Chain A
Amino acid sequence: MEKRDEKVNLKNGEIQIEASKYEPFGDEHITREIKLPSSYGKDRLVAMVRDPWWIHAYWEITAQKEKAIRDEIERTGKHFEKAILRIYDITGVKDFDGKNANSFFDITLENMARNWYVDIGAPGKRLCVDIGIMTREGVFYLLARSNIVTTPRFGMSDILDAAWMLSEEEYWWLFGVSGGFGVGKSSMEMRELFQKQLKEWVSSGGMLFSLSSQMLAQKR
Chain B
Amino acid sequence: MEKGYLAFVLHAHLPFVRHPEHDSFLEESWFYEGITETYIPLIKMLDSLIDEGVDFGLTISLSPTLIAMMEDELLNNRYRKKLEGLLELSYKEIERTKFDPRLNNLAKMYNNIFKESLHIYVDKYHCRLMNAFKKFDASGKVEIMICAGTHGFLPNMEMYPQAVRGQVKIAVDTYRRIFGHSPKGMWLPECGYYPGLDNILKEFAVRFFILDTHGILFAEPRPRFGVYNPYYCKSGVAAYGRDIESSKAVWSAVEGYPGDFSYREFYRDIGYDLEYDYVKPYLNCGTGRMNTGIKYHKITGRTDHKELYDPEAARQTAASHAGNFMFNREKQIEYLFAKLGRKPMIIAPYDAELYGHWWFEGIDWLNFVIRKTCYDQKVFKLITPPEYLKKYDKFQVITPSFSSWGWKGYSEVWLEGSNDWINPHLHMLIERMSELANRFPRAEGDLEKALNHLVRELLLAQSSDWPFMMKTNIFTDYACQRVKDHIDRFNTLYDMIKGNRIDMNWLNRRMQQYNLFPEADYRVYKTE
Interface residues of A (CB under 8 A from B): 1-4, 6, 18, 21-27, 29-31, 34, 36-37, 40, 42, 46-52, 56, 58, 60, 114-115, 147, 149-157, 159-161, 163-166, 171, 173-175, 177-180, 183-184, 201, 205-220
Q: How far is the CA of A35 from the CA of B509 in the complex (A)?
A: 21
Name the residue on B nearest A170 (C-beta).
Answer: B339
- CB B138 to nearest CB in A, in angstroms, measures 30
- Contact, CB under 8 Å: B354 / A215: yes
Once the chains are docked, how many angstroms separate the CA of A140 from the CA of B46?
Answer: 65
> In this assembly, does B204 line the interface, its C-beta being within 8 Å of a C-beta of chain A?
no
Which of B98-106, B109-117, B218-226 makes up part of the contact surface? B218-226
Identify the B interface with A (CB < 8 A). 19-22, 24, 26, 30, 74, 155-156, 158-159, 190, 194-195, 212-214, 216-222, 224-228, 241-245, 247-248, 251-253, 266, 285-288, 331-332, 335-336, 339-340, 350-351, 353-354, 357-358, 396-398, 401-413, 415-416, 420, 423-425, 427-428, 431, 468-469, 472, 474-475, 477-478, 481, 484-485, 487-488, 491, 509-510, 512-513
Q: Can you list 7 residue pairs at the A/B interface with Cβ under 8 Å?
A: A1-B26, A46-B423, A60-B424, A180-B213, A183-B331, A207-B409, A209-B405
In the bound complex, how far is the Cα of B469 from the Cα of A130, in angstroms? 32
C-alpha spacing A157/B354, complex, angstroms: 34
The answer for the CA separation of A58 and B415 in the assembled complex, in Å, is 12
Interface of chain A: mostly helix, strand, loop or mixed = loop
Q: What is the bound-complex CA distance between A163 and B484, given in angstroms?
A: 52
Is there an interface contact between A219 and B409, defined as CB atoms closer than 8 Å? no
Contact, CB under 8 Å: B491 / A58: no
Known: A40-B424, A178-B217, A209-B213. 15 other contacts (CB 8 A): A6-B287, A23-B21, A34-B481, A49-B155, A50-B411, A51-B412, A56-B420, A152-B402, A157-B218, A157-B219, A157-B222, A211-B253, A213-B190, A213-B407, A217-B472
Residue of A whose beta carbon sits closest to that of B400: A152
Chain B contacts of A173 at CB under 8 A? 339
CB distance from B67 to the nearest CB of A (A): 20
Question: Which B residues lie within 8 Å of A149 (CB)?
Answer: 158-159
Taking a contact as CB atoms under 8 Å apart, the answer to whether A50 and B412 are in contact is yes
Chain B residues within an 8 Å CB radius of A159:
220-222
Rounded to whole angstroms, the CA-CA distance of A171 and B217 in the bound complex is 10
Residues of B within 8 A of A2 (CB): 285-288
Question: Is A179 a contact of B21 with CB atoms below 8 Å?
Answer: no
Kindly state the separation between the CA atoms of A94 and B434 in the bound complex, as whole angstroms: 28
Task: Tell me if A3 and B217 are in contact (CB < 8 A).
Answer: no
Question: Which of B340, B350, B405, B478 has the largest number of chain A CB atoms within 10 A?
Answer: B405
The complex places the Cα of A2 from the Cα of B289 at a distance, in Å, of 10
Nearest chain B CB to A32 CB, angstrom units:
8
Q: Is the CB of B420 within 8 A of A24?
A: no
* A26, B155: Cβ atoms closer than 8 Å: no
Q: Give the complex CA separation of A206 and B407 in angstroms.
A: 8
A-B complex: 9 closest residue pairs judged by Cβ atoms: A3-B286, A180-B244, A22-B20, A178-B226, A51-B410, A164-B224, A24-B509, A152-B402, A211-B251
Q: Kindly provide the distance from the CB of B282 to the nearest chain A CB, expressed in whole angstroms.
A: 15
A24-B509, A24-B510, A178-B244 known; A1 vs B401 contact (CB < 8 Å): no
Q: How far is the CB of B335 from chain A (nearest CB, A)?
A: 5
**A24–B513 contact, CB under 8 A?**
yes
Interfacial chain B residues near A52, Cβ < 8 Å: 410
Complex contact B225–A6 (CB within 8 A)? no
B488 contacts across to A, CB distance below 8 A = 34, 36
Assembled-state Cα–Cα distance A151/B244 (Å): 24
Residues from chain B with Cβ under 8 Å of A152 in the complex:
218, 401-403, 410
* In the bound complex, CA of A6 to CA of B267 (Å): 27
Known: A46-B423, A178-B228, A210-B408. A23 touches B218 (CB 8 A): no
- Separation of A158 and B397 alpha carbons in the complex (Å): 15
Q: A25-B513, A217-B472, A219-B358 are in contact. Are A210 and B407 (CB under 8 A)?
A: yes
Complex Cα–Cα for A106 and B472 (A): 33
From A36, A154, A207, A216, give the contact of B425 (CB < 8 A). A36
Judge whether A177 and B468 touch: CB under 8 Å: no
A215–B213 touching, CB < 8 Å = no
Cα A10 to Cα B247 with chains together (Å): 48
- What is the bound-complex CA distance between A29 and B266, given in angstroms? 32
Determine the residue in chain A with the shortest Cβ distance to B431: A42
* A161 nearest in chain B by CB position: B221
Q: Does the CB pair B396–A164 fall under 8 Å?
A: yes
Q: How far is the CA of A136 from the CA of B248 in the complex (A)?
A: 56
A30 touches B481 (CB 8 A): yes
A47 to B427, CA, bound (A): 11
Task: Give A165 to B351 CA distance when docked, in angstroms.
Answer: 35
CB distance from B370 to the nearest CB of A (A): 22
